[in-house]
Amino acid sequence: MALPQENLIPPSPSHNHLTLSLRSHIGGFFIYNEDVDSVDLSKLNEAQKQAVTAPPKPLAIIAGPGSGKTRVLTYRALFAVKEWHLPPERILAITFTNKAADELKERLGRLIPEGDRIFAATMHSFAARMLRYFAPYAGISQNFVIYDDDDSKGLIEDILKQMNMDTKRFRPNDVLNHISAAKARMFDCNTFPEFIRQRYGSWGYYFDTVHQVFMTYERLKEQSQALDFDDLIMVLAQRMEDRPELREMIAGLFDLVMVDEFQDTNFAQYQMLLYMTNPHYSGMNNVTIVGDPDQSIYGFRAAEYYNIKRFIDDYNPEVVFLDLNYRSNRTIVDSASALINDSPSALFERKLESIKGAGNKLILRRPFDDADAAITAAFEVQRLHKMGIPYEEIAVLMRTRALTARVEREFATRNIQYHIIGGVPFFARREIKDILAYLRLSRNAMDRVSLKRILTMKKRGFGTASLEKLFNFAEENKLTLLEAMKAAVESLLFKKLSMNDYLESLYTLIQTIQEIAEPSQAIYLVMEQENLLDHFRSISKSEEEYIERTENVKQLISIAEESADMDDFLQRSALGTRENNGGVEGVAISTVHGVKGLEFQAVILYYVTDGFFPHSLSVTTAEKEEERRLLYVAMTRAKEHLIFYVPYKQPWGNGFEQMARPSPFLRSIPKELWDGKPNEIESLYAPYSPQQKWSE
């Protein structure tokens, strides 16, 4: 989509100005007016005013949680329009999400009629738009198509098959992740070996094969005039680096560039902005970044919070700290500050302050095990609700989605409204529904939905036509679906022998399940006979997603073991998948990543134990410090009530539990900020015993 022509027209000069900046390469200019009386700044604190009214030159705003950064961005844009006389369309605001972009335009639109004309976009949508508009200068086709992750994965899978490679060893998702990681660091297919040696220190057959796939992948994309998501950023950055006229034209479109959530940018995104906004590379010099290195939690997406330090080194900006918190009470702010100030990787020494009073102390709960934790969490929510807190102002936050199962079930049992942020309910997740389909069919031989799911979850040759053929065959012969499967095999209903063979195998499996009383044993049987672990690996886009799916399966088995029988288990499962009538009404259940930017009156932090905070997969110091920042983000979502659940045992799957140790991060919080039993508070600070054993 091309930019509107008016976006290329420079603003008109004003006769009342003190500073004139002439852009000779586009003939444009803007006004810097020191008289700020026309913008009402009475609602801003001193640091916010400093950030809003800073001169039109590089500015770094280090904004702590709840410090009003969106208001500051909005008012800085307003100030640019009112005092510098910039047309809103010459202001570029790059945000982390489309929702944030829309919110910024809406806020500015409420302040000035033309405010919604600000150019607000995500990093990828901005890059795509620039490449499309300046395609001839970038040396690419203006009609390029964009491959999403599924398109890229499918293409890589085809390449691997053409190379006769084992897709279990060379998983398409893993190959794609290596390619994506390289592009995030500005390495293309030609320099990929250098990237791998820098990252892993070695090179072998595996990476040599990935390199061949990478080369073929790029060649086929080029033939198709296609760019993937990572290309949008890297190609634009490369073209601006190599072609001065391109970066001058892009820089000439804007008189102010603002970038939100700067701590979540990767290296390629930083380079793209550098070539566009740094006076060393272009005529642009008015750029504002907003970020908080302490809230950088997307390292697994190649985000580098160190980009804030790079910006300070490369731009020598004015730096403004927003450390006055308007969201949380003083106890919550002090505890979060203590946590983050213990980080050895902190870029700045800071002290967050709250405008509120001390408020409630941190509440410590130490339930016995997973079942006890879910029950007490439900009672906790009911207690908070009776205090007058709406369900919508309560959140239960956890490190992984696998922990939501029992919480969802307890909430459903007690008619507590809830909704899942950033995901679907536990019993509605793909891997769970896949397994439950076999069990449901064993109890209802007329269950068309379950049979359809089973026959189509893998490539078995069953499509719309063959399914209708089987269903019609059952109806015409007045057979149950289970009986129809057996009869279809005997009559060779399908020409493909493999389809008949699978129906025979499935018929036998369902019959066997019907004889099993314990649902957990049925799940084990289905998993083994249908080889579902390999299936879940094949549908996972990353190793992290695959691990999450397997953790969900383990959780399902644990729940099944607690059920009286198969019918009880299936009934409870069905209850857990019910829709909440209010849509997004009710208690929020979410991972911490899912609530970035949100806030609640009360927050329950579920399983603040070693193994979840930090996660057991976090091994390096950098990974563990990101886990500390993740807990910091979780704590600072709360306004008034912050409750920590630290069970003595935590789930380990398959009916086993692990002795749970409190998160080592909790030691950073001063003891006087806690409200709980003295011995339980002391247990948070007890030294760990390396001889501590697992228990069943």
pLDDT tens-digit readout, 311-323: 999 999 999 999 9
Query: Strand 28-32 relative to strand 19-23: parallel, antiparallel, unpaired?
Result: antiparallel
pLDDT tens-digit readout, 429-449: 889 989 999 998 998 888 777
Query: Are 580 and 417 spatial neighbours (Cβ–Cβ below 8 Å)?
Result: yes
Phi and psi angles of residue 658, each rounded to the nearest 5 degrees, phi first: -105, 140
Active-site amino acid positions: 69-70, 260-261, 295, 637
pLDDT tens-digit readout, 402-421: 888 889 999 999 999 999 88
Query: Are 337 and 663 spatial neighbours (Cβ–Cβ below 8 Å)?
Result: no
| Domains 145-224 and 330-424+583-685 are alike in CATH topology | no
Using DSSP, state whether 630 is helix, strand or coil.
helix
Looking at residue 218, what is its pLDDT? 95
Q: Note the CATH number of domain 46-136+232-322.
A: 3.40.50.300
Instruction: Quote the mean pLDDT of the chain.
Output: 87
d(CA 412, CA 183): 44
Task: Work out the pLDDT band at 253, boundaries 50, 70, 90.
Answer: very high
pLDDT tens-digit readout, 143-191: 777 787 867 888 898 899 889 999 889 999 999 999 999 999 999 999 9
Fold annotation for 330-424+583-685: Rossmann fold (3.40.50)
Q: Is the pLDDT of residue 9 over 90?
A: no
CA atoms within 13 A on the CB side of 654: 4
Looking at residue 399, what is its pLDDT? 94
* pTM for this entry: 0.74
pLDDT tens-digit readout, 536-555: 999 998 888 899 899 999 98
Looking at residue 510, what is its pLDDT? 95
Query: Are 669 and 662 spatial neighbours (Cβ–Cβ below 8 Å)?
Result: no
Chosen CATH of 426-576 out of 3.20.20.120, 3.30.540.10, 1.10.486.10, 3.40.50.970? 1.10.486.10
Task: Work out the pLDDT band at 572, boundaries 50, 70, 90.
Answer: low
Question: Cα angle vertex 263, ends 259, 268, to 5°?
Answer: 75
Q: Which amino acid is at 61?
A: I
pLDDT tens-digit readout, 623-677: 999 999 999 999 999 999 999 999 999 877 666 778 999 999 999 999 999 999 9
Q: Is the pLDDT of residue 690 over 90?
A: no
- 232 strand-pairing partners: none
- Nearest alpha carbon to residue 195 among 205, 209, 180: 180
d(CA 495, CA 492): 7
Q: Is the pLDDT of residue 14 over 50?
A: no
Domain residue ranges in the chain: 46-136+232-322, 145-224, 330-424+583-685, 426-576
Residues belonging to the binding site for ATP are 63-70
Helix (H) or strand (E) holding 47: helix 46-53
Q: Note the CATH number of domain 145-224.
A: 1.10.10
Q: Which amino acid is at 180?
A: S
Task: Work out the pLDDT band at 688, boundaries 50, 70, 90.
Answer: low
Q: Is the pLDDT of residue 332 over 90?
A: yes
Q: At a CB cut-off of 8 Å and minimum separation 6, what does 518 contact?
A: 560, 561, 565, 566
Task: Work out the pLDDT band at 455, boundaries 50, 70, 90.
Answer: very high
Residues belonging to the binding site are 63-70
Looking at residue 691, what is its pLDDT? 44
Q: At a CB cut-off of 8 Å and minimum separation 6, what does 372 contact?
A: 647
Looking at residue 345, what is its pLDDT? 86
Q: Which two tokens stand for residue 473?
A: 């065959």
